[in-house]
Structure 1
Amino acid sequence: MAPVSRVFALKPFHRPRLWLGLWLLAVAAVIVLSLVNLSGLPPVPEGSDKVEHFLAYGVLSAAAMQLFATRRGCLIVAALLVALGVCLEFAQGTLTATRMADPRDALANTLGVLAGLATLLTPVHCLLLTLDARLRPARV
């Protein structure tokens, strides 16, 4: 069995902590926004929140595919994102008075994760690595 550090190794970025930190910040934002009272916001059309769930988890998942170097690491992170989405739905139903659990939200989260995971099969999976290389300061 490979050590955890090898499974979750990042791609060879010039600024790995920056990219990982931004991704973790995005994960934290999704957690907070899933649990805070949003009743003061204008209502959204029926069912459009499913698109928001899909997009949020799709972006988190696609970003993770940009970060992690091994397919195994990417698959584990995708599974963890699915678990996060399901757990947050339970948390909304049990820990908040203004939110409710919705299995369709959990499904939208899961489909978003799968869409992000599918980027591994495209040339897009190295986009952040290319951007990071272009942002690397020139050596004198």
Structure 2
Amino acid sequence: MSASKRPRVGRSLKPFKRPWLWAGLWMLAIAIVVAGSLMPAKALPSVNVSDKLQHFAAYAVLSAGAVQLFVRRLSWGFVCVLLVLLGIGLEYMQAQMAVGRMLDRNDALANTIGVLIGLATAFTPLRDALLHFDRRL
């Protein structure tokens, strides 16, 4: 198959030297957030940081990660909507599971604000930080 006919690795991804590495790490971060959200409360490590701040930070990092990975604004918006829905869905799942966790609308709000702040990094010079880092390796 000629180089021009070879399928490209995601039209929405930025032109990384290692696209699978960065996309894989981002997906791993999502999996960690999902697992942490569904673990029993007793199994989670105790940290002296507000629960809402943890939610905010986790979703801000995931959303900023999408900005780092994807070149298209449409992709950023799509991922951010999915992250907000993920946060809401996980809150509902916590309420349905008998693991000592409960639905907290303020957690979902903190998740959503985190997503928006992460998305806001698209409008800063940091937007391509991972791409520059990838090219230096």
**How far has the Cα of 1:95 moved from its partner?**
1.9
TM-score (norm 1): 0.86
Give the equivalent residue in structure 1 for 2:7: none
Superimposed CA distance per residue, residues 47-98 of structure 1 (whole angstroms, 9 cap, x where no aligned partner): x100000000000100110001100001000000000000000000012331
11 and 43 in structure 1: CA distance in 2 versus 1, 3 angstrom threshold: closer
Contact 1:92 1:101 in 2 (8 A): yes
- 4+ runs deviating over 6 angstroms: none
User: What SS is found at the alignment partner of 2:122?
Assistant: helix
CA distance in 1, matches of 2:87, 2:48: 20
TM-score, reference length from structure 2:
0.88
Aligned match for 2:34, one of 31, 36, 40: 31
Q: Which amino acid aligns with 1:16?
A: P
User: Using the alignment, how far apart are the partners of 2:30 and 2:77 within structure 1?
Assistant: 17
Q: Secondary structure at the match of 2:57?
A: helix
Q: Residue deviations 1:2-36, cap 9 Å, x none?
A: xxx54xx1000000000000000000000000001
Q: What's the counterpart of residue 129 of structure 2? A: 127
Counterpart residue type for residue 21 of structure 2? L
Aligned residues: 127
